[in-house]
């Protein structure tokens, strides 16, 4: 499955991913110690919702625009992050994970971004020029291991690939196992699309066999029954989610489900502890 950020920015998957990423980082920041935030597949950083790629898919109408039309206060932090890169009431630009993470930085925190695609890396540097982020243009899985353990005791690695390569899941599994050996207490967030349940369940079992303690899966299924051959939702694997984050999940997940359910469907957002 090819899932380039520029075509899908601001869709339902981004609303869930970025809402939970903000909540997770804020939970870690309840302690004053510095954090290192690492994004291995950073993309362009900022997306024009009026641009050709976004207009071709038109997915903002089922994602960010629904979140903006809603009034649930549990989504206030997410809406504020989007408003921060816009002027006016309607979002015309969408912040990718790099811009959202940059908004969350405290003076003691660090942000490391990586994007292998040359054109996207060039755009990313421009989008992040007013921040303190370090931007790399390397193989994501090589960088993931190279920067661990980070200079700070605590931190988060965000892994958000386009799933263009047939061995993407295998590379994630192998790199996660190696990364956990190097930095067992670090927090890792892995985004993935949900298209084929059989393929997904097979991968989940492979990850479960890694034996990583405190391994949570959050899955957003858009439809009440799978729609063959199309995108059915997305999920996040989270290694070592902080307690302050997991305690806030149930009401936030219900708010996201209600806002993003397609017409005629209830949808579901589920949690599953692979271990821990």
User: Residues 215-243: pLDDT tens digits?
Assistant: 999 999 998 877 766 678 999 999 999 99
Evaluate whether 160 touches 41 at the Cβ level (below 8 Å): yes
Partners of 219 in the β-ladder? 235, 270
Mean pLDDT value across the chain:
92
Asked whether the predicted pLDDT for residue 58 surpasses 80, the reply is no
Asked whether the predicted pLDDT for residue 55 surpasses 80, the reply is no
pLDDT band at 51 (very low <50, low <70, confident <90, very high): low
Convert the pLDDT of each residue in 19-48 to its tens digit.
999 999 999 999 999 999 999 999 999 999
Asked whether the predicted pLDDT for residue 6 surpasses 70, the reply is no
Burial pattern 30-68, b for ≥16 Cβ within 10 A else e, equals eeeebbbbbbbbbbbbbbebeeebbeeeebbebbbbbbb
pLDDT band at 88 (very low <50, low <70, confident <90, very high): confident
Asked whether the predicted pLDDT for residue 266 surpasses 80, the reply is yes
Question: Measured between alpha carbons, how far is 49 from 9 in angstroms, rounded to an integer?
Answer: 8
Over residues 259-272, the mean pLDDT reads 93
In this structure, are strands 93-95 and 46-48 parallel, antiparallel, or unpaired?
A: antiparallel
pLDDT at 198: 85
Which domains are delineated in the chain?
5-275 (3.40.50.150)
Asked whether the predicted pLDDT for residue 262 surpasses 70, the reply is yes
C-alpha of 174 from chain center: 20
User: What are the CA-CA distances from residue 220 to residues 12, 198, 264 (Å)?
Assistant: 9, 16, 16
User: What are the CA-CA distances from residue 223 to residues 8, 113, 124 (Å)?
Assistant: 18, 33, 33
The residues annotated with a catalytic role in the active site are 160
53-62, 70-79, 226-235: range with lowest mean pLDDT: 53-62
Burial pattern 228-265, b for ≥16 Cβ within 10 A else e, equals eeebbbbbbbbbbbbeebbebbeebbebbbebbbeeee
Convert the pLDDT of each residue in 155-207 to its tens digit.
999 999 999 899 999 999 999 999 999 999 999 999 999 987 888 899 999 99
Partners of 161 in the β-ladder? none
Asked whether the predicted pLDDT for residue 257 surpasses 90, the reply is yes
pLDDT band at 60 (very low <50, low <70, confident <90, very high): confident
pLDDT at 197: 81
pLDDT at 52: 56
pLDDT at 275: 83
- Reading the block at residue 76, the tokens are 């206030």
pLDDT at 225: 76
With a CB cutoff of 8 Å and minimum separation 6, the contacts of 86 are 92, 93
Partners of 221 in the β-ladder? 233, 268
**191 — phi, psi (to 5°)?**
-90, 145
Evaluate whether 110 touches 151 at the Cβ level (below 8 Å): yes
Evaluate whether 243 touches 23 at the Cβ level (below 8 Å): no
Question: Measured between alpha carbons, how far is 149 from 187 in angstroms, rounded to an integer?
Answer: 11
pLDDT at 7: 64
pLDDT at 2: 43
Asked whether the predicted pLDDT for residue 145 surpasses 50, the reply is yes
């Amino acid at each position: 499955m090819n899932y380039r950020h520029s075509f899908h920015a601001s869709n339902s998957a981004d609303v869930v991913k970025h809402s939970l990423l903000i909540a997770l980082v804020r939970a870690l920041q309840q302690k004053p110690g510095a954090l290192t935030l690492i994004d291995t597949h950073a993309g362009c950083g900022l997306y024009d919702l009026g641009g050709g790629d976004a207009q071709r898919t038109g997915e903002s109408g089922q994602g960010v625009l629904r979140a903006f039309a809603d009034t649930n206060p549990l989504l206030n932090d997410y809406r504020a992050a989007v408003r921060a890169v816009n002027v006016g009431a309607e979002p015309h630009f969408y912040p990718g994970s790099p811009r959202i993470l940059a908004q969350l930085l405290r003076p003691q925190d660090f942000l490391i971004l990586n994007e292998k695609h040359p054109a996207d890396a060039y755009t990313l540097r421009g989008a992040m020029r007013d921040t303190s982020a370090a931007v790399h243009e390397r193989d994501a899985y090589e960088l993931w291991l190279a920067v661990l353990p980070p200079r700070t005791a605590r931190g988060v690695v965000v892994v958000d690939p386009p799933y263009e390569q047939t061995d993407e899941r295998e590379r994630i599994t192998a790199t996660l196992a190696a990364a956990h050996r190097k930095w067992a207490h670090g927090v890792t967030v892995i985004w993935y699309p949900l298209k084929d349940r059989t393929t997904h369940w097979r991968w989940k079992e492979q990850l479960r066999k890694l034996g990583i303690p405190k391994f949570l899966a959050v899955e957003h299924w858009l439809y009440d029954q799978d729609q063959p051959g199309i995108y059915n939702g997305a999920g996040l694997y989270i290694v070592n989610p902080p307690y302050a984050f997991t305690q806030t999940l149930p009401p936030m997940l219900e708010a996201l489900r209600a806002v993003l359910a397609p017409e005629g469907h209830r949808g579901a957002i589920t949690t599953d502890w692979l271990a821990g």
